[in-house]
Amino acid sequence: MKSKTLAAWLAFIGGPLGLHRFYLYGLLDWRGWLLPLPTALGIYGIQRVQALGQDDQLSWLLIPLLGFTIAGCALRAILYGLTPADAWNARFNPADSADAEPGRTHWGTVFAIGLSLMMGATVLMASLAYSFQHYFEYQIEEARKISQPQS
């Protein structure tokens, strides 16, 4: 029996590690094993910024991977939470009735949806702002170098 509420919370809290995929599809789910890769690369990008400063260009690419992974998992939690009980049970609990308890929406499901919406939107916007800010600062700096007269 796969609970919709538990799947939503796992996608919200442990989604970047693939916990919701392992819960729903088992430990052999290859997509679940792929999720920690962008998470680890994003954490590596954060470590690069701490060690090398904010001018590190590789970190501009790596940090958004973490943000997009977190935002994508938050979106997945929202989709799990908003799935109707009959569709949830037909997909993940086919041996049970269409209105079985694991597919029903509870207050815990509503809180998972709300927190996923707030956190996912915040992380997505922060990742985009960070990347675009550094990209455009880099472009301006390169334009200044080109416009300076050569000595």
| pLDDT of the chain, 151 residues: tens digit per residue | 899 999 999 999 999 999 999 999 999 999 999 999 999 999 999 999 999 887 788 888 899 999 999 999 999 999 999 999 999 999 998 888 888 888 888 899 999 999 999 999 999 999 999 888 888 888 888 888 888 877 6
- The CA distances from residue 110 to 12, 33, 55, 96, in Å, are 12, 28, 41, 23
User: What is the pLDDT at residue 6?
Assistant: 95
Query: Do the beta carbons of residue 46 and residue 59 sit within 8 Å?
Result: yes
Distance, in Å, from the CA atom of 114 to the CA atom of 91, rounded to the nearest integer, reads 24
Residue where the block lists tokens 């919406």: 117
Q: In the numeric block, which tokens belong to residue 42?
A: 């994003």
For residue 63, CA distances in Å to 48, 130, 150 come to 9, 9, 35
pTM, entire model: 0.85
